[in-house]
Structure 1
Amino acid sequence: MKPSIKINEESKWIIEETYFNQEWLGKYESIMCQGNGYMGIRGTTEEPYLGETRNTFVAGTFNKFDENEVTELPNIPDLIQMTIKVNDKALDLSKGEVSQYKRSLNLKTGEIIREFHYHLEDDSELAFRFSRFVSMDQKHVISQKVEITSVKGNNRIGIDSGINGQLTNSGSQHFSEGAKHLFEGKYIQMTSETSQSNISMVETTVHEISNAANLSSRIEMRRRQVFNKYWFEVAQGETAVFEKFSNIHTTRDKEHEGKSVEDIEKHGLEELVAVLASGYDTLLTNSAKAWDKEVWSVAPITITSKDHEDQVAINFAKYHLHVMTPAHDNRMNIGAKGLSGEGYKGHTFWDTEIFMLPYFTYTHPEIAKSLLEFRYLGLEGAHKKASGNNYEGAQFPWEAAWIEDGETTPVWGAADIVTGKATKIWSGFIEQHITSDVVYGVNQYVEATGDKEFLETKGYEIILDTAKFWSSRLEWSEEDSNYQITDVIGPDEYKEHVDNNAFTNYTAKWNIQKAIHIYEELKENNVEKFNELNTKLDLDRVYADWLDRVDKIFIPAPNEDGIIPQDDTYLSKKIIDLVPYKEDEQVGTLFHEYNLEQVNDMQVTKQADVLLLIYLFENLFSKEIKLDNWNYYEPKTMHDSSLSLSTHSALAADLGELDLSYQLFKEAIHIDMGPHMTSSDEGIHAASLGGIWQMIVFGYGGVRVLDGQLRIEPHLPENWDNLVFSIFWHGTELKVTVTKEAFEVEVISGEKEVTFDHKGEQYSVTDKQVIKLI
Structure 2
Amino acid sequence: MLFFLLILSSTIILIQIAPAEQAQSTTIFTTNELPSTGSSLDYRILPYIGNGHLATVAFSEFIYMNGLYNGDNGTSHRARIPSTLNWQFKINLSSSAYTLNVSSGKILFLSVFTETIENDEIRIERHLFASQEYTELLIAYVVITRLKSTGKKIVVPIEVNEQRTSIDIDFKVETYHDEYVLLSGETRQVENVQFQKEPLSVFVYHTPLPVNGLKLGKHEKRRTYLFVTSIDEQKSRAKSSFDYATHKRQADKILLSHVSRWNDIWSDGHVEVSGDDELQRQINSAFYYILSSLPPLSTRSEHKQFYGLSPGSLSRGGFLGEDYGGHSFWDTETWMFPSVLLFYPTLAKEILSYRIALRDSAVDNALLFGYEGWRFPWESARTGVDVTPDCCPEVRLYQMHITGDIAFAARQYVAATGNRDWISNELGGDLIYESARFWGSRAVYNNNKKQYEILTVLPPDEDAQPFKNNSVFTNAVAALSIQLADSVSCITNKKTPQSWIDIASNLHFPFDNSTQTHLEYEGFDLKNTTIKQADVVLLGFPLMWPMSDQVRRNDLLAYEPLTRDDGPAMTWSMHSIGFIELGDFNKAEQLFQRSYETYVKPPFNVWTEARSGVGAVNFITGAGGFLQAVLYGYGGIRLKLDQLEFKPRGHLPNQATKFVIRGIKYQGTIIDLTIDNKMYEIFVRAQSSKNDVPLIYKQGEHRGSLKLMDRLSFPIDTQLIIRRLVPLCP
Q: Quick one: distance in 1 between partners of 2:366 and 2:205?
A: 43
Matched, 1:407 2:421: no
Aligned to 1:270: 243
Counterpart of 1:702? 636
Structure 1 residues 162 and 680: CA distance shift in structure 2, 3 A: same
Q: Select the residue among 638, 645, 652 that pairs with 1:717.
A: 652
Matched, 1:350 2:330: yes
Tell me what 1:765 maps to. Answer: 706
Structure 1 segment 426-465 matched on structure 2, within 5 A: 426-457=394-425, 458-465=427-434
Residue pair 2:228, 2:242 contacting (<8 A) in 1 also: no
Residues 562 and 114 (structure 1), Cα distance of their counterparts in 2 relative to 1, 3 Å cut: same
Q: Distance in 2 between matches of 1:356 and 1:165?
A: 34
Q: Which amino acid aligns with 1:72?
A: H
The structure with the greater share of residues assigned to helix is 1
Could you say if the C-alpha distance between residues 156 and 362 of structure 1 is closer, same or farther in structure 2, counting changes exceeding 3 Å?
closer
- Unaligned 5+ runs, structure 2: 1-19, 104-109, 191-198, 297-302, 318-322, 718-730
Normalized against structure 1, the TM-score is what?
Answer: 0.77
Q: Name 2:50's counterpart in structure 1.
A: 35
Deviation of residue 760 (structure 1)? 9.7
2:67 to 60, 70, 75: 60
Counterparts of 2:642 and 2:49 in 1: how far apart (Å)? 37
The DSSP-based 3-state class of the residue aligned with 2:249 is helix
Structure 2 counterparts to residues 253-332 of structure 1, below 5 A: 256=234, 261=235, 263-264=236-237, 266-274=239-247, 276-279=248-251, 281-293=252-264, 295-305=265-275, 307-326=276-295, 328-332=303-307
Deviation at 1:356, TM superposition (A): 1.6
Q: Which residue of 2 aligns with 1:617?
A: 543
Deviates more, 1:74-83 or 1:108-117: 108-117
1:338 corresponds, among 313, 326, 345, to: 313
Q: Which amino acid counterpart does residue 435 of structure 1 have in structure 2?
A: T
Q: Cα distance 1:204–1:696, how it changes in 2: closer, same or farther (>3 A)?
A: same
Which one of the candidate residues 166, 179, 190 is aligned to 2:183?
190
Gaps in structure 1 of 5+ consecutive residues: 1-5, 45-52, 87-96, 119-123, 168-172, 208-226, 413-423, 575-602
Q: CA 1:319 to 1:622, structure 2 compared with 1: closer, same or farther past 3 Å?
A: same
1:418 alignment partner in structure 2: none
Q: Distance in 2 between matches of 1:383 and 1:339?
A: 27
- 1:27-49 CA distances to partner (integer Å, 9 max, x unpaired)? 666552001111111122xxxxx
- The structure number with the bigger radius of gyration is 1
Q: How far is the alpha carbon of 1:78 from its aligned partner?
A: 1.1
How many residues align? The count is 650
* Residues 560-709 of structure 1 aligned to structure 2 (within 5 Å): 560-571=514-525, 574=528, 603-618=529-544, 620-638=546-564, 640-670=567-597, 671-673=599-601, 679=613, 682-709=616-643
Q: Which moved more, 1:345-354 or 1:680-689?
A: 680-689
Partner of 1:493: 462
Kindly state the Cα deviation for residue 510 of structure 1 after the two structures are TM-superposed: 2.5
1:497-552 per-position Cα deviation (integer Å, ceiling 9, x unaligned): 1221110112212322333444xx44xxx6xx53xx57xxxx7xxx2532554444
**Kindly tell me: are residues 367 and 160 of structure 1, through their superposed partners in 2, closer, same or farther at Cα, counting changes over 3 Å?**
same
Q: Distance in 1 between matches of 2:249 and 2:482?
A: 58
**Alignment deviations for residues 614-669 of structure 1 (CA, whole Å, 9 cap, x no partner):** 11233501111111111111122226112212212222221222233233333333
Secondary structure of residue in 1 paired with 2:594? helix
Q: Which residue of 2 aligns with 1:80?
A: 85
Cα distance per residue 1:454-486 (max 9 Å; x no partner): 122323222221122112222344554433222
Change over 3 Å in CA distance of 1:611–1:772 after alignment to 2: same
CA distance in 1, matches of 2:372, 2:140: 52
Distance (Å, rounded) in 2 between the aligned partners of 1:374 and 1:393: 17
Change (3 A) 1:283 1:551: closer
- TM-score, normalised relative to structure 2: 0.82
Counterpart-to-counterpart distance in 1, 2:266 and 2:438: 41
* Equivalent residue, structure 2, for 1:219: none
User: CA contact under 8 A between 2:365 and 2:375: conserved in structure 1?
Assistant: yes
Identity %: 23
Letter in 2 for 1:41: T
Question: Which residue in the other structure is 2:165 paired with?
Answer: 166
The answer to whether 1:141 aligns with 2:130 is no
Asked whether the equivalents of residues 650 and 695 of structure 1 are also in contact (C-alpha less than 8 Å), the reply is yes
Shift of 1:12: 1.5
State how far apart, in whole Å, the 2-side matches of 1:286 and 1:469 are. Answer: 45
1:362 corresponds, among 335, 342, 348, to 342
Q: Do residues 728 (structure 1) and 665 (structure 2) align?
A: yes
- Residues 247 and 272 of structure 1 are in contact (CA less than 8 Å); yes or no, is this contact kept in structure 2? no
- Superposed CA deviations along residues 35-93 of structure 1, whole A, max 9, x for unmatched, are 1111111122xxxxxxxx523111112222x57x432221112110125445xxxxxxx
CA contact (8 A) 1:163 1:190 kept: no
Q: RMSD between aligned alpha carbons?
A: 3.1
The offset of 1:150, in angstroms, is: 7.7
Displacement, 1:701?
Answer: 1.1
AA aligned to 2:384 is D
How far residue 685 of structure 1 moved from its aligned partner, in angstroms, is 1.2
Structure 2: distance between partners of 1:11 and 1:740: 25
Contact 1:701 1:713 survives alignment (8 Å): yes
* Distance change >3 Å, CA 479–CA 635, structure 1 → 2: same
| Secondary structure at the counterpart of residue 125 of structure 2 | strand
Aligned residue identity for 2:457 = V
Select 1:742's aligned residue among 665, 672, 679. Answer: 679
CA distance, structure 1, for counterparts of residue 125 and residue 231 of structure 2: 29
| Conservation of the 8 A alpha-carbon contact between 2:230 and 2:239 | no
